[in-house]
Each structure stands twice: as structure tokens, then as C-alpha cells.
Amino acid sequence: MEFTLGQIAGIIDGKVEGNSEIKVSAIGSIEEARSGSVSFLSNPKYESHIYQSQASGVIVNHDFKPQKELTPVLIRVKNAYLAFTTLLQEYQRIMNFSKSGIEKPNYLPESTSHGENLYLGAFSYIGENVTIGANVKIYPHTYIGDNVTIGDNCIIYPNVTVYQNCKIGNYCTLQAGVAVGSHGFGFAPKEDGSYENIPQVGNVILEDHVDVGANTTIDCATFESTIIRKGVKLDNLVQIAHNVEVGENTVIASQSGISGSTKVGKQVIIAGQVGIVGHLHIADKTTIGAQSGILRNSKEGETIWGTPAMDKGQQAKSLVIFRKLPSVMKRIEELEEKILNLPSN
């Protein structure tokens, strides 16, 4: 695929300084990009690389002032990092949406309806009464259960499973191995010490612009719905339990798990390997540090970490004390010895 720098500037709302007719066909880092490639510079830490770069074009911030002569043509934008992200998204969109048609073999019943430009990969199974929007790409070995709804412009990568009755909004991306609507972890203890399975009869709702990473699982609700609100981004290997609700534009990093019926607010940041117990409320704009164990509700805008998690200031002070424990213990033992050796009256 080939674009001129002028066309790229149009995509990212930028202004070209130099020859806008130069053509590029690749995207690369500022260190590695070669002639015919476009790159970006947003972090001043990497500015030295732009003076040796052989890239045909480099996206930079409006306020960038070169200190030396440059080879690349500059494309000035308000935010180079976001602009480059937009360019990558457009590149990915073109690559993904170039696929179309229905491959064989697969199962696509007459009761299923779909919009234009459907791509259905080989060995896929589409259940009864499924509704699929326009420009949807479903890659091979995918299972879509009965009565599922999939909105427009979704990408569902190989080996994804979407269980019956689930709803997926517009512009959603499900990476390989995702399971949406799997059985919630609900078991009732019996008198003999065994467990009785509690049927999970709800579904999962993904609103618009939700991204779900590879091998992430989102369990169906016991009743009603497990809900992932619009703009949520889930990393690989995330576990969302039954009846959880994740608020708008929240991001959750890899290997984190949220137990049943917890409500996560808007614009929450959850780092990797976080565990959250059930029936909690994580307030809007909470930030949770990596490997934290969350046993309580949070306050809006709070930053917490540790196990059990606490306010970051308290946690930092506690760590200082924790590091001093060996020396404190030594002093206590010395004091005990002195007390024992005091002369008796």
C-alpha cells in the first residue's frame, strides 16, 4: 500500500513541511525507519535519532524545533503520538477490511442475517437467529451462538467463542481465543461438602468501541447481563466474572481478574495481575497498581496498590517501615537482653 505524505497529513490533520508528493509504503520506528517509510517523534529522549533517520517523513509536534539539518520531511501535528496511533489504526483498518466473502466450509443458517461486506472465515459456525452488521470480519474457527447480535465494523479474530444471546456493539475487536458469555463461576455448597452447579442464564453485553485481548474471558451473568461499557480496553488474559459491570473508557491490563457482581467505574486504570474481590464498587478514575489485591471499595480519583491495597501514600510509608523491620527487631532484642541483665534490687 502506498500513500503520499500529503495523504497521510490529511488522515492525521497535519501540515507537511516540504514535498507532500513523496510516496511511502511502510511504517517504522524513528531508529529503524528507512527511505519509503514514515515514522514519528514525540518523546524528546529520542530526538537524536531524527538527525540520522533515513525515513521519508516524520510526524512531529507543532512546537518541534530542529537543532540540525534533517533528511526527512516533517509532518507537524498537535500530538505526534496520537497522530501516529491514528495512522496505525487506519493502516490496520485497511488491512483488515480488505478481506471479504464467505469461505468454505462453514455453517451459516438461513435464519441468520448479515450486512454488506461480511467476511466469514473457513470452519466458522454461526448459530440460529444471529444478526451481524455491516463490514464485519469473522476469522476462521470462530463460534457464534444462537441469538447473538454483532454490530457494524467489528473484527472477530480466529478461535473466538461468543455464547448464545450475547450482544456485541459497533467497532468492537475480539482477539484470538476470546470467550464471551462463558459459564459464570457459581456453585452452591451442599451439606456433604460437594457443590451444586448454579445455572448461569444471563448474557454479556459489549457496548461500542470495546477491545478485548487474546484469551480473555467474560462470563455471562447469573441473571440479566455482564456489561462492558463503551470504550473499554481489556488486555490479554483478563478474567471478568458474572454480573460485573465495567464503566466507560476503563483499561485493564493482563492477568487481572474481577470477581462477581463488582462494579467498576469510568476511566479506571487497572494494572497487571490485580485481583478484585466480589461485590465491590471501584469508583470513577481510580488507579490500581500492579499485583494489588482489592478488598474494599475505592474513592473517586484514588490511587491504590499493594495487598491488601491501600492509598499509595500510606503504602509507601508502610514500605519504609517494612524495610526497617530487621534493624528494629535487632534493637528490640538488644533492649530485651539489657533488661534481662539489669541488676535485681
Report d(CA 302, CA 285) in Å as an integer: 7
The whole-number pLDDT of residue 318 equals: 81
Confidence (pLDDT) at 18: 93
What radius of gyration, in Å, describes the C-alpha atoms of the chain?
Answer: 27
- pTM value? 0.81
At residue 299, the pLDDT reads 95
pLDDT at 209: 97
128 — pLDDT class (breaks 50, 70, 90): very high
Please, which pLDDT band fits residue 343 given cuts at 50, 70 and 90? confident
Of 141, 183, 242, 281, the active-site residue reads 242
Give residue 47's pLDDT: 93
Domains assigned to the chain: 3-97 (3.40.1390.10), 101-311 (2.160.10.10)
CB 142 within 8 A of CB 159: yes
Q: Is 242 a catalytic residue?
A: yes
Residue 344 has pLDDT above 80, yes or no: no
* CA dist list (Å): 129 to 109, 126, 141, 224: 8, 9, 19, 20
Per-chain mean pLDDT for the chain: 93
59-110, pLDDT tens digit by residue?
999 999 999 999 999 999 999 999 999 998 888 777 766 678 999 999 999 9
What is the number of other CB atoms lying within 10 angstroms of the CB of residue 237?
18
Q: What pLDDT score does 345 carry?
A: 64
Measured distance CA(162)–CA(164) in Å, rounded: 7
